[in-house]
């Protein structure tokens, strides 16, 4: 394999010294970039982009051509897994993702297959291989999956939801059905992430977008426990390097101690948590990734720089910090502001690594 | 004044002994009740209901006729205050509240008046007086207001928002303009809540619906500090009784210690916080109100009862707990399930008050 030219991101995840704090942005290949919108228009629609490894590679690399980012992240969607389970993913303009065949009864859950990624998600694995080749060792490539609970909400609701009515009713009224569904997702996601690692992903992130919508006990039982099961089943080392796992529960700031016990390398933080306080709480068990409010990118470039400085100061001296937004960058952000954010991280962080 | 027949709610807020845990539901006068929908249809629209004291009283009392609730809450909207400031509140079907005249520039903020509730929100105060009269001492009446930051988001965005783009840009890029706007809201809300207390509200709740969308430091500076200023200016005692203040920041579970320092009687908790852990963190500084996930009301009545039992056990022995949902009850809930919730609180809590 090509040697990695910039390994700051992987080093920071493993708590090793770095020259400056590495930075990437969730959803960095996204609609705020005109070049992304152009490629997506060529692809026809969103799933056309996800299922075409050449085009998925093209949009993955676009933000790296514009900004000195320290990592690339596979361009894909978290709902590829339930789609491969036969739920029939489709997108309606302005309405978000939907499933033709939602899963709501015990019989439907029982009939659900476990995904074999090598057979059924080859387009994702081909994208990983293509991107790794095209990156040519410039920066590491991050693979990812949605968490079982997050995937379950879309599968049971049939799409996005405000109150997770059906999926939460299943947790509380039919916990054994929910557990069977989550077990199948644990097996599928574990296989999917391991296949991404074998295809070339050098770190993986589990996106638990909706864990923060759960009550405390329900989070531990129905979101964190399945993620723990996945972590237990992941390939630890590949190509002679450790493969760090990042666990990101949006709205999970109250549960960091429990998340840190899972044995992952790093926790993703949304912006509501003070990163210095989070560091005190988790000690050196895990690295931390985050956590500027993405809406700060709507403020002036000098305000962005101030906020980056505040977060760096809150984290303090030393390694173990990957800078990121606390959630995905939004479509209306000016790309110049994203650049100001990334440059500020590199410029202002050097003093914390001496 | 008529003597209060059921003062469990006020006693629990003040940490005094009670026979069973008192319970009410945020948005208990709401669309899940067919009798509410009927009155609202008679009123024409939502604001027609808010501005008519007789009809506002009618819907306030409806849930009390159905369920053994321990408190009534004024039926009104948090946006009456900005409406009285001249922003022109209106509702578009399926789109939520909007303002004809959003406030986005320094000049617009400077031109904004402070509200005098006695002059400009008489319809609310008349509703309070009518409800107090009709309650005839059955249970206490809660008054309320939105928090300054929450009101500011609607005023700057011109309505609801997903990312609070304009209001957060104002906080970060023009903090002095934001502070002036928040100062005017502090003065207006203080006056408004005091007017509600003088009109007969026996407790007041500050709804900080969107404080949880802020970064840690921004929350302390732009949401909690203005709420502290309001608390400092409120009437402490009326009709020979203390007037307890409840502070509810949705998504504020990470900031309970700071919220408890404001000198309010109680903190509202959403369902993501474990109430037993919250009690340990705040000690006897404040009572706690909450915190069942409102979506549990979509589960079976036996699952609802189990969850009520779990929360009571987590809180443990003794007073200082007002049971509630962690957010407003949703329109699709079966009223029978709401009744099962309320009965379960009374039935299962007696053993915790011996």
pLDDT score of B1: 58
Domains annotated on chain B, with CATH: 8-353 (3.20.20.210)
The closest CB to that of B254, out of A254, A307, A310, belongs to A254
Q: How does pLDDT run across A233-289, given as a tens digit for each residue?
A: 999 999 999 999 999 999 999 999 999 999 999 999 999 999 999 999 999 999 999
The closest CB to that of A299, out of B169, B303, B332, belongs to B169
Q: Which of A156, A178, A259, A272 to mutate to test the interface with B (most CBs of B within 10 A)?
A: A272
pLDDT score of A95: 79
Smallest Cα distance from B221 to chain A, Å: 13
pLDDT score of A1: 58
Cβ pairs A/B, distance under 8 A: 110
Distance CA B49, CA A46 (A): 44
Q: CB of B134 within 8 Å of any CB in chain A?
A: no
Phi-psi region of A322 (alpha: psi -120 to 50; beta: other; left: phi over 0): beta
Q: How does pLDDT run across A118-165, given as a tens digit for each residue?
A: 999 999 999 999 999 999 999 999 999 999 999 999 999 999 999 999
b/e code A17-37 from CB counts within 10 Å (16+ = b) = ebebbbbbbbbbbbebbebbe
Test B272 with A251 for CB contact under 8 angstroms.
Answer: yes
Q: CB of A299 within 8 Å of any CB in chain B?
A: yes
Q: CB of B215 within 8 Å of any CB in chain A?
A: yes
Report the percentage of chain A scoring pLDDT > 90.
96
Q: Which H, E and C letters describe B18-78, residue by residue?
A: CCCCCECCCCCCCCCCHHHHHHHHHHCCHHHHHCCHHHHHHHHHHHHHHCCCCCEECCCCC
Q: Which residues of A touch B164 (CB under 8 A)?
A: 295
Query: What backbone phi and psi angles, to 5 degrees, belong to B69?
Result: -70, 150
Q: CB of B133 within 8 Å of any CB in chain A?
A: no
Residue B99, H or E segment: strand B96-99
Distance CA B327, CA B294 (A): 6
Q: Which residues of B are catalytic?
A: 27, 31, 40, 77, 154
What's the rounded mean pLDDT across residues A331-341?
Answer: 98
What's the Cα-to-Cα distance from A12 to each of A6, A71, A354, rounded to whole Å?
12, 12, 14
pLDDT score of B94: 76
The closest CB to that of A216, out of B219, B254, B274, belongs to B274
Q: Tell me the pLDDT band of A93, cut-offs 50, 70 and 90.
A: confident
Test A298 with B166 for CB contact under 8 angstroms.
Answer: yes
**Residue ranges for chain B with pLDDT beneath 70:** 1
Q: Any idea of the CA torsion for A64, A69, A75, A81, to the nearest 10 degrees?
A: 170
Test A216 with B272 for CB contact under 8 angstroms.
Answer: yes
Q: How does pLDDT run across B167-220, given as a tens digit for each residue?
A: 999 999 999 999 999 999 999 999 999 999 999 999 999 999 999 999 999 999
What's the Cα-to-Cα distance from B69 to each of A194, A265, B22, B310, rounded to whole Å?
53, 48, 8, 20
The ipTM value here is 0.95
Q: Which residues of A touch B104 (CB under 8 A)?
A: none
Q: CB of A36 within 8 Å of any CB in chain B?
A: no
Count CB neighbours of A45 within 10 A.
Answer: 12
Test B165 with A298 for CB contact under 8 angstroms.
Answer: yes
Length of chain A, please? Answer: 354
CB contact at 8 A, B267 and B15: no
């Amino acid at each position: 394999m090509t040697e990695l030219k910039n390994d700051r991101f992987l080093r920071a995840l493993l708590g090793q010294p770095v020259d400056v704090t590495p930075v990437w942005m969730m959803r960095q290949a996204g609609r705020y970039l005109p070049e992304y919108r152009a490629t997506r228009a060529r692809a026809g629609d969103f799933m056309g982009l996800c299922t075409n490894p050449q085009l998925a590679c093209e949009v993955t690399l676009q933000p790296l051509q514009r900004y000195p980012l320290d990592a690339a992240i596979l361009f894909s969607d978290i709902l590829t897994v339930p789609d491969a389970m036969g739920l029939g993913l489709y997108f309606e303009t302005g309405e978000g993702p939907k499933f033709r065949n939602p899963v709501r009864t015990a019989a439907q859950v029982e009939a659900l297959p476990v995904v074999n990624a090598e057979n059924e998600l080859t387009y994702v694995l081909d994208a990983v291989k293509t991107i790794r080749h095209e990156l040519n060792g410039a920066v590491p490539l991050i693979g990812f999956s949605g968490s079982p609970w997050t995937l379950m909400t879309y599968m049971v609701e049939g799409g996005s939801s405000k109150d997770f009515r059906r999926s939460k009713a299943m947790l509380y009224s039919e916990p054994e059905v929910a557990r069977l569904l989550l077990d199948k997702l644990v097996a599928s996601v574990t296989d999917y992430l391991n296949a991404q690692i074998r295809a070339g992903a050098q770190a993986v992130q589990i996106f638990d977008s909706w864990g923060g919508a759960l009550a405390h006990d329900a989070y531990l039982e129905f979101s964190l426990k399945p993620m723990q099961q996945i972590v237990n089943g992941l390939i630890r080392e590949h190509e002679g390097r450790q493969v760090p796992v990042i666990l990101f529960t949006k709205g999970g700031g109250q549960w960091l101690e429990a998340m840190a016990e899972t044995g992952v390398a790093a926790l993703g933080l949304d912006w509501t948590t003070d990163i210095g306080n989070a560091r005190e709480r988790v000690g050196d068990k895990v690295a931390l990734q985050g956590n500027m409010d993405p809406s700060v990118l709507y403020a002036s470039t000098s305000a962005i720089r101030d906020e980056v400085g505040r977060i760096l100061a809150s984290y303090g001296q030393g390694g173990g910090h990957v800078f990121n937004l606390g959630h995905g960058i939004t479509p209306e952000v000016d790309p110049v502001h994203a650049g100001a954010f990334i440059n500020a991280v590199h410029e202002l962080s050097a003093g914390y690594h001496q």
